[in-house]
Structures are given as C-alpha cells and as structure tokens.
Chains A and B, each alone.
Chain A
Amino acid sequence: MKRYGKTSKESRAPRPLPRAPASAEMLFEIGTEELPAAYVPGLIEQLGRETAALLQSRHLTCERVLSYGTPRRLVVIVRGLATTQHNPAEEIRGPSKRAAYDKEGKPTPALQGFLRSQGGTAADIKVVSSEKGDYLYFTKRATTVPTATVLPGLLLQLIAKLRSPKSMRWDSSGVRFARPIRWLLALYDGKPLRCTFGTLTSAARTWVGGPLHPRSVKVISVGGYLKSLTHAGVIVNQEERRAAIDKVVTQIASRARGKPAIETASHGLLEEVTYLVESPAPLTGVFDQKYLALPREVLLASMAKHQRVFAIQSSSHALLPQCVAILEGTPTKPDGIRKTVERILNARLADSLMFWNDDHTRLPLEQMATALSGVTFHEQLGSMADKTQRLVALIPPLADAWQLTGEERHQLERACRLAKADLVSTMVKEFPTLQGIMGKHYAKDSGESQAVADAIEEHYLPLADRAPKTLIGSALAILDKWDTLTSYFGVGIMPTGDQDPFGLRRAAQGIVEVAWAIHRPLPIDALLEARFTLPPFAGKDSNGMRQAGDRIRQYLLERLYMFAWPPPAPSTDCIDAVLSSPCRDLIDVMDRVRSLHQMLGHPDLLKAAKVIERTRNILKGATLRQPEVDPARLQEAPERALWDLYRSNEARVIELTNKKSYADATTLFGAVFFEPLHEFFDRVLVNVKEEALQQNRLALMRAIHTLYTDRIADLSKLTIVQQQQESAR
C-alpha cells in the first residue's frame, strides 16, 4: 500500500500550469462513532474493493484506489480518476418487430414505451433478423458525462454495499451501519461533492479531536486532508498505525531488556489495538510480582482480553511484571491514568489468582470431572459427562486403525476422561478461551503424564495457526470432533447456508486437517458404527441411523473441496472421481486424490480413463442380471482374451491398490486393458439379442470396470475424459 507521507510531498511540488486535467483525485470519508475494532479491517478491505468495482462498472478509469480506517473514520482515496465518464455505444434489444408495429405500420405502445425508457426516437431504431425472428434494436450512442456528476450516486451505493457482522439503526431514517455515521466528507478535484445519506449531507470538512474535543477542519485537497489528520495526531493508515504501536511497545520492552510477549501477534492483540485508537500513545505500568506465579496463558488472557495491554517477556521468555497500555492520544497527566490502569490490572490478576487457587482445591482433575454431569452439551445429547463417556467408547475403532500400543491406548483413555473437566473450573468460566489450556495445567498438577496433559490442551485444535502436535492429542482432537459432528447430525441438526451455530463445519474441517497432518487411517464406517451404538442412538431405527451416517460421510468428504491441500492442490475433478468410488478411510481417499492429481496429463492415466469410460458407457442403462462371468459362455476370441487378461491381472491390481501404489495400479490397468478392449469393441457386439450372451458380456465389462472403480476412482468424472466426450459429440 502506498504511504501517504509521500503524497504530501507530491502536493507540495509546484502545480503544473492550468489546463483541463484528464484526471483528478477523489476523497471520501465516512465519519463514525467508534466502530468495533474487529469490524474495521473488513470494512477497509470492502471499501477499496467495492470502490474499484463501482468505478469500473461506471466506465470510470483510475490509477489506484487506497482505503484506510480508524475507529472513527473510513477513508477511500482514488488517484488519477478520469474526469469524464465515457459510456460506450450500446445496442439494446427491444420488442419484436411484430409487437412493435400495428397493422397500419404505426408504433404500438410497446415500442413507444421502449423508446421512452431509452430516450430515443423511431429514427434510432433498426431491425435485426435472428433465428427467433425480427427484433428491434436501439443504438444507444456513446455519451460522456462529467465524473463529478456521477460520483454522488456512486458513493451512496458504496456505503450501502459495506457490510459488517452486525449493523444498527440510530435514527428513524431507516439507514443502517455498524455504528452511527456522523459526517460524510466527499471531494473530487478539489471541489465538494454533495450526497445525502439518511439525514446526513456530505460537506468538504472532516472532524478531528475525537469525541472529547471535536473540531471540524475544512478540506480542499487530498494532500491537505492528510496533512490535517497528521497535524491532529491521527495515523489514518492502518499499516503505519500498527507499525507505530509495534515499534513503541518494542522500544519500551527493550528498555526493560525484554521484548513484547511472542503471543502478541498470534493472539490478535496488536491487530485489535490498531483498530481501538487513531492516535496511539503508550503508557507503561507494572503489576505485583506475586502474580507471576500464574501460568503464562492466564496472565496473557487477563492482560490482553480484559484490558488490552501488552505483556513483556525477558530474554529467557519469562514474563516480566510490566505492561504497556496504548492510549488514545498523549495524556497530559499520565501518572493518574497509570495508577488506575495498574490498580485495575492488579485487581484482575488478584481475581485470576483466586480462581487458580480455588480450582486447585478441587483437584485432582478426575475429581473436578465429576461435576461435568451438571454441564449440558446439548438438550438432546446429554451432559458433558455423557460426552466424555462416548469419547471413551469411540476409542477402539480409531486405536485399532492407528495400531496404538497398550500404553498409548491407556493415555488416550485418560485424556478422554479428563478432556472436558476444566469446563467446570472457575478459571475457564471466567476465560472461556483458556479451555484445554487450564485442563493441561490442572492435569499436570494432578500428576497426569505429559502426554495426557498435552492431549487435553490439543484436543480443541486446530485453531488459528495452531494444530495438534502429539499422537494422543491428534487422536483426542479427532474423537471429540467426531462425537460432536455425528451427535448433531444424528439428531437432525446440520449446517445450512451460513447457519452453523454448533460449529459443525469447523468440526468436520478439523477432522480432515488433523487426520491429514498425522496421516493415519480414519475408518469412517467403523467410527460411524461405534457412534450409533451409543446414546442417544443405541437401539434406534437402524434405517434412520444409516441415512444419518450417509449424510455425515458425505458432509465430511465434501470438506475435501475446501481443504487447504499442500501444493500442488488437486483439481476438483480428481476429488469428484475419487468420491464416486467407495470411501471407507478418509486418509486413503485423500491419498487417492493426490495420486490421481499427480498423474493428470500422463498417457497411462488417459489409457485407464478410456477403459473406464468405455466400459461405463456400455454398462450405463443396461440391466445386469448376471453377477459373475461364465467362462463357458465366452464365444469370441477378443472376449476370451479379455477374460484371460482379467484373470491373470486381477490379483496384481488388487495387490497394488492394497499397497496404495495407486499410480502403478493405474498404469497396469490401462496397459492391460486399453488395447484389448478396443479390439473387443471393434469386433464383438455386446447388446446382442441372445440374452445369455449379452448378460455374460455385460458381466465381463462390469468385472473390468469395477476392478478399478471399486478401489481407486471413477475416472469418467475426470475433465480430460469429459472434454473428449464433448468434442466427440
């Protein structure tokens, strides 16, 4: 993004002699009451994108669009915006000739209406003949309109396009925005633009000084505007503001021979604070050393979440009893503010220490877990204690597939039993984001093994950029998400559109991510079966459960289209092809997708694909009554040859697929069947009148077809095949 510091220099440069400029600058500022920090980045991004799109749709060219934002203003600057809108000539279709003129050849109301709407006369009409008959066309001539007359309407559309997670009304005009809009500044080519939004009318002025000392400033140019903001201490460019905050926190930390806590960025505190102030000023504070006894995560949560202050760590990564608050504007009496900030921080930390000590009186964690029966998971799905029971019961299919040792199984079971216990701790009630993390600490303090403690923390992952690292953590993360996904689907609760109140999309995505990262089998059928033998589904209508199972399988597999595959990401048709074949193990499915994608463009794959396509075409629509080939009824040489090839290569193809050598299996399959199948189709008719013969040949086709499609993929779904079919038509 271009730094505006540079432009103020530009504006100081001597102005060229007056001449009609081909382009000029536009400035639009939406002045608001304090926007939620989390909304501003999205609004800035939309402002840039939507402005560019609207300009383009109106045939307005520009050099660049810059967008900025603070809690109190959203700004878009367009540089090099053409002063004239050139609307190209257009041919607009009107009514058919038959509808346009009456018997006497006079224009009907239909034609009159059309001309009126286009602002033309009968002289501008021509008739164009087409397959559908003769139609009237109106040639709209190219027009030029001064940009300044187009912009007010465009800017209003722009405001209406801006979206935030929640919007509000603030007066009876009916307009909505994230927070009340209090002023609009619109300027083009140094002249004010007039647009009206709700009860507001734009003017060539901005406001500085925040709500405390509001002061309006006249604006006559983009450069002057930016200078006024700088003069008032406002850093309107979010990148600069973030960098300024980062720099000042780092400076203060280094004075204490430390640096900002490494989580500052990953926790989003720097990002949040960037959008909490428009004139950042630092304030240092200290807190009581005794609170350093608290776990690091608790200290950071207390400091970042409630008070939005930065923590500082020493060179040995330990937190120091210091903080940096970012204030709005440089305070005239920092000492008084510091006293309060420190007092509040100490009070919060005292609370946290009380929670910590209180929770420790309820350890061991196993004891704490007994209270889970009082915590509802979901009305129809029982308590968190019930969920814990289910997690334990889900272990065998996964542990078997992963070939876990006895000790690992034991650890996984411990972790399942304790995973949710911290939900009843006082600390997690106060800081819900510490779920899992407190479980880890409390598990360690209860004498549990490191593997169990880590698994408890990791089972809520993946979150943001963190993923489980340990074996047991990965297993628990999958089991927990599996239970959540299958439980809700089982009672008929599924994500629809963008409605997903129980986070099922994230759960399914999480299963895929964790399974792929650890790359161990995920036996979908066994896990489904295990889940449906547990409450509240045990003994329920098995048909209904099978349908729920199918929906879960489908939903889970559909995540593969959204999955962030490591490059090279497979194309959609590879996923289509594999998902058209049986999918029993998620990881095997993903491996097949990858293999297929790697073979794309390879002649061996094309051969195999042709075999699949041709056999599929002959099987499509045919009624198969005979499951197996009867060798005695194979008459012609080509069909006997095919059958012999099948018999001699079947085991080898199966063996290769069992070894997951999908590329080799595909190559072999194509090499074995491509030519002989060609020969067969050239010389043998499948759909003969004699049914026994026809059925036997179909059975042969089916044997060859399913040898591949039952194990790897339905290659007829590949784009390369489909394109060839298209061109053949």
Chain B
Amino acid sequence: MDFQRLIRTLDTFWEKQGCVIVQPYDMEMGAGTFHPATFFGALGPAPSRAAYVQPSRRPADGRYGENPLRMQRYYQYQVLLKPTPDNVQQLYLESLRACGLNLDHHDIRFVQDDWESPTLGASGLGWEVWMDSLEVTQFTYFQQVGGMDLQHISCEITYGLERITMFAQGTSDVYSLAYGPNTSYGDLHLANEREGSSYNFEHADVALHQQLFTSYENDAKRLLKAQCLMPAYEQLLKCSHTFNILDARGAISQADRPRFIMRIRTLAKRCAELYLERQEGTGGVRQGAGETQKAS
C-alpha cells in the first residue's frame, strides 16, 4: 500500500467512525495538536470527531536526509475523538489492519508515555504505541488544554504515517517508500529535507527570528484584545514555529527557554479562554473551531 493510499484508507476508516475529515492547516506547526480542530476541538463539552493529515515541522530533528527515522518535516495523521469511545484501542488497531498490516505478525505494545506540550499548556496521559519496538503512534487522553483542566475528555491518536507505511511496505528507508504512482517519498521530499536542515541549522537569520517572535507575540496580544480569536491563534502558531527555528539554531539558552515557552503558553491560555467564553455565549455550539465551520 503506497503512502497516498494509506492516507486515503485512514480517511475512509475514520470517516466511517463519524469523523469530519479536515484538511491540513495551512501554517507551519510542530504537531497535529496545534491544528485548531484539535486545540479548540478538545475544549468544552461539545462532542467532536475529526481526522486529518498535518505536515509537522520539527526544525531541530532534521538530519539532512541521512537518517531514515528523523526528519525536520514529516506527516502526522491525527484523530481527535470526544467523547472517547470505550473501544478506542480496538478502533485504533482496526485502523492499522485496514492499512493492510497483519498485526499477528507484529509485537504491538502500549508503553506509558505521558505527553505534554508546555507551549500549548496541554498535557495528557497515554502511551506511545510500539510496533516491534519502534514507536509508530502517540496515543493520549487529554487532561489539560490551554492550561485548563478538562471535564470532557478527548482521545488524540497521532500516527507516524511514514513509519506505518514502512511497515506496510516492508522497507526500512523512508525515502524509498512508494508515495504514489511512479513516485517515491524521496522524490517528493529528499531535496527539501536537505535544504530544510541546512536552513534550520545554518541559514535561518537569528536576529530576524528573534524580532519576529516579539512582533508575532505583540500582534497576538493586540488581536486577543480585539477579540479576534483565530487570527490571534495564528500569530501564536507563528510564535511557536519561530521559537522552534531559534531553538534549532542554538539561539535559545537553557535559561531563556522557559521564558519563551511561558510567553507562548500565556497566549494559548488566553485563546482557550476566549474560545470557551464564546462557546458559553452560543450555548455550547462550536464556533471558530477552524476549517470545519468555515468550509460551508
């Protein structure tokens, strides 16, 4: 099963489970959790089911295309289920089977991994799912988002699409994965992986990004004051990615790191509060939860 079909298979699988298949958010982000469908979808009592691919940027993880397991840009497949179905583990395993994996030929394990995103003020308890000792999925029951304890618990399933496709195709090199007709993953991404690593580690302008961070932060604050929720959240996303670039450039000292994180977290908390205030105002109807609402 090639990469693009695997994505389609997951879309179909989760669509049948009542998920809205959302499109990737068109901004740089470190993980699918930052997508508004998850960040806002996890807040409040309103039920929410969404699934989507999210390209994920991890500037510090780039290896110039030389490591088959670490990349500065890769794809996460993200599912958010609220409330969490009782058989969520079985659903997840079923989705792997749908992708053509014979799980009886593998050692599948749920190993404790309590996930935390300090910048989003989000944390949860769950596992990393091992397939033959390789982590292929992050499985989390959110307990806190935007610094707020949750009463209504979502389950977040984050598939490492490349790794799962590697198992499905029986290959150990990400760049030789079949992506689609006559096209390998490397055809599409190897050059960018090299250039991206080079940019993140060597060329990204530190002074510019430091300045950008502050500008984005100020803009986010201004927009929050103006009750402009999604534009403010988008500025937060920019802050977060700018921070990751600075980090990859080695421009953030150990001492500065907590302060940067706190600055982003403060924005996240405010965004979450504003979102919930609005939700109360509309009697719990979802609003502004990203593309799902805007699409019509």
A33 pairs with B110, CB closer than 8 A: yes
8 Å CB contact of B103 from A71, A170, A180, A212? A212
Using Cβ atoms and an 8 Å threshold, which residues of chain A touch B152?
172
B112 pairs with A38, CB closer than 8 A: yes
A211 pairs with B133, CB closer than 8 A: no
In the assembled complex, B227 has its CB within 8 A of some CB on chain A:
no
A325 pairs with B125, CB closer than 8 A: no
* Bound: A33/B90 CA distance, A: 11
Q: Which residue of B lies closest to A347 (CB)?
A: B69
In the assembled complex, A341 has its CB within 8 A of some CB on chain B:
yes
A331 pairs with B107, CB closer than 8 A: yes
A171 pairs with B134, CB closer than 8 A: no
A34 pairs with B133, CB closer than 8 A: no
Q: Which of B68, B83, B86, B132 has the most CB of A within 10 A?
A: B132
8 Å CB contact of B133 from A172, A325, A374? A325
From known contacts A211-B110, A212-B103, A347-B69, infer whether A172 and B253 are also in contact, taking CB-CB under 8 Å: no
Q: Which residue of A lies closest to B131 (CB)?
A: A340
Pairs across A and B, CB under 8 Å, 13 listed: A168-B125, A168-B153, A170-B153, A211-B110, A328-B109, A331-B106, A331-B107, A337-B105, A337-B106, A340-B167, A341-B133, A344-B133, A376-B253
8 Å CB contact of B109 from A169, A171, A276, A375? A276
A376 pairs with B134, CB closer than 8 A: no
| B96-112 Cβ-contact flags toward A at 8 Å (1 or 0) | 00000001111111111
Using Cβ atoms and an 8 Å threshold, which residues of chain A touch B134?
340, 344
In the assembled complex, A36 has its CB within 8 A of some CB on chain B:
yes
8 Å CB contact of B143 from A168, A214, A307? A168
| B248-263 Cβ-contact flags toward A at 8 Å (1 or 0) | 0000011100000000
In the assembled complex, A333 has its CB within 8 A of some CB on chain B:
yes
In the assembled complex, B211 has its CB within 8 A of some CB on chain A:
no
Q: Which residue of B lies closest to A384 (CB)?
A: B254
* Bound: A333/B151 CA distance, A: 43
B153 pairs with A379, CB closer than 8 A: no
B132 pairs with A340, CB closer than 8 A: yes
* Bound: A345/B69 CA distance, A: 13
In the assembled complex, A567 has its CB within 8 A of some CB on chain B:
no
A37 pairs with B112, CB closer than 8 A: yes
B125 pairs with A376, CB closer than 8 A: no
* Bound: A287/B132 CA distance, A: 15
From known contacts A211-B110, A307-B133, infer whether A168 and B172 are also in contact, taking CB-CB under 8 Å: no
Q: Which residue of A lies closest to B111 (CB)?
A: A276
Which residues of A (343-388) have their CB < 8 Å from a CB of B? 343-345, 347, 374-376, 379, 383
Which of the four size classes fits the interface of chain B? 35 or more
* Bound: A369/B90 CA distance, A: 51
State how many angstroms separate the Cβ of A194 from the closest Cβ of chain B.
19
From known contacts A36-B112, A212-B108, A340-B132, infer whether A172 and B151 are also in contact, taking CB-CB under 8 Å: yes
In the assembled complex, A633 has its CB within 8 A of some CB on chain B:
no
Using Cβ atoms and an 8 Å threshold, which residues of chain A touch B125?
166, 168, 179
Using Cβ atoms and an 8 Å threshold, which residues of chain A touch B127?
34
B132 pairs with A336, CB closer than 8 A: yes
Q: Which residues of A contact B (CB under 8 A)?
A: 33-38, 71, 166, 168-172, 174, 179-180, 182, 211-212, 214, 276-277, 283, 307-309, 325, 327-328, 331-333, 336-337, 340-341, 343-345, 347, 374-376, 379, 383
Q: Which residue of A lies closest to B124 (CB)?
A: A168
| B39-74 Cβ-contact flags toward A at 8 Å (1 or 0) | 000000100000000000000000000001100000
B253 pairs with A336, CB closer than 8 A: no
Q: Which residue of B lies closest to A382 (CB)?
A: B255
In the assembled complex, B3 has its CB within 8 A of some CB on chain A:
no
* Bound: A212/B107 CA distance, A: 10
Q: Which residue of A lies closest to B102 (CB)?
A: A333
A375 pairs with B254, CB closer than 8 A: yes
In the assembled complex, B191 has its CB within 8 A of some CB on chain A:
no
B112 pairs with A180, CB closer than 8 A: no
State how many angstroms separate the Cβ of A179 from the closest Cβ of chain B.
7
Which residues of B (228-250) have their CB < 8 Å from a CB of A? none
A34 pairs with B110, CB closer than 8 A: yes
* Bound: A204/B179 CA distance, A: 49
* Bound: A169/B152 CA distance, A: 9
* Bound: A180/B86 CA distance, A: 9
In the assembled complex, B95 has its CB within 8 A of some CB on chain A:
no
Using Cβ atoms and an 8 Å threshold, which residues of chain B touch A344?
132-134
8 Å CB contact of A332 from B45, B104, B109? B104
In the assembled complex, B214 has its CB within 8 A of some CB on chain A:
no
* Bound: A182/B89 CA distance, A: 11
From known contacts A166-B114, A170-B141, A182-B86, infer whether A336 and B106 are also in contact, taking CB-CB under 8 Å: yes
In the assembled complex, B23 has its CB within 8 A of some CB on chain A:
no
Q: Which residues of B contact A (CB under 8 A)?
A: 45, 68-69, 83-84, 86, 89-90, 93, 103-112, 114, 124-125, 127, 131-134, 141, 143, 150-153, 167, 172, 253-255
* Bound: A276/B110 CA distance, A: 9
State how many angstroms separate the Cβ of B197 from the closest Cβ of chain A.
16
Using Cβ atoms and an 8 Å threshold, which residues of chain A touch B109?
34, 276-277, 328
State how many angstroms separate the Cβ of A175 from the closest Cβ of chain B.
11
* Bound: A276/B133 CA distance, A: 12
Using Cβ atoms and an 8 Å threshold, which residues of chain B touch A276?
109, 111
* Bound: A343/B134 CA distance, A: 10
Using Cβ atoms and an 8 Å threshold, which residues of chain B touch A37?
112
State how many angstroms separate the Cβ of A309 from the closest Cβ of chain B.
8
8 Å CB contact of B132 from A168, A170, A337? A337
* Bound: A168/B153 CA distance, A: 10
Q: Which residue of B lies closest to A182 (CB)?
A: B86
A34 pairs with B112, CB closer than 8 A: yes
Q: Which residue of A lies closest to B259 (CB)?
A: A379
Using Cβ atoms and an 8 Å threshold, which residues of chain A touch B103?
212
* Bound: A340/B167 CA distance, A: 9
* Bound: A308/B132 CA distance, A: 12
8 Å CB contact of B141 from A180, A283, A336? A180
Using Cβ atoms and an 8 Å threshold, which residues of chain B touch A283?
107
State how many angstroms separate the Cβ of B70 from the closest Cβ of chain A.
9
B90 pairs with A214, CB closer than 8 A: yes
B108 pairs with A328, CB closer than 8 A: yes
B83 pairs with A327, CB closer than 8 A: no
4 closest A-B pairs by beta carbon, nearest first, are: A36-B112, A340-B132, A34-B110, A376-B255
Q: Which residue of B lies closest to A423 (CB)?
A: B254
Using Cβ atoms and an 8 Å threshold, which residues of chain B touch A337?
105-107, 132
A211 pairs with B90, CB closer than 8 A: yes
* Bound: A182/B84 CA distance, A: 12
Q: Which residue of B lies closest to A326 (CB)?
A: B107
A169 pairs with B153, CB closer than 8 A: yes
* Bound: A211/B83 CA distance, A: 20
State how many angstroms separate the Cβ of B68 from the closest Cβ of chain A.
8
Using Cβ atoms and an 8 Å threshold, which residues of chain B touch A277?
109
Using Cβ atoms and an 8 Å threshold, which residues of chain A touch B110?
33-34, 71, 211
* Bound: A376/B105 CA distance, A: 47
* Bound: A308/B103 CA distance, A: 21
- Interface contacts beyond A34-B127, A328-B109: sample of 11 additional A-B pairs, CB < 8 Å, sorted by A: A168-B124, A169-B141, A169-B153, A211-B110, A325-B133, A331-B106, A331-B107, A337-B132, A343-B172, A344-B134, A376-B253
State how many angstroms separate the Cβ of B69 from the closest Cβ of chain A.
7
Using Cβ atoms and an 8 Å threshold, which residues of chain A touch B111?
34, 276
* Bound: A375/B257 CA distance, A: 11
* Bound: A696/B145 CA distance, A: 74
* Bound: A631/B111 CA distance, A: 81
A168 pairs with B133, CB closer than 8 A: no
* Bound: A325/B133 CA distance, A: 9
From known contacts A37-B112, A337-B132, A379-B255, infer whether A211 and B89 are also in contact, taking CB-CB under 8 Å: yes
State how many angstroms separate the Cβ of A428 from the closest Cβ of chain B.
13
Q: Which residue of B lies closest to A351 (CB)?
A: B67
State how many angstroms separate the Cβ of A48 from the closest Cβ of chain B.
23
B90 pairs with A336, CB closer than 8 A: no
From known contacts A332-B105, A337-B132, A379-B255, infer whether A171 and B83 are also in contact, taking CB-CB under 8 Å: yes
B112 pairs with A341, CB closer than 8 A: no
A376 pairs with B153, CB closer than 8 A: no
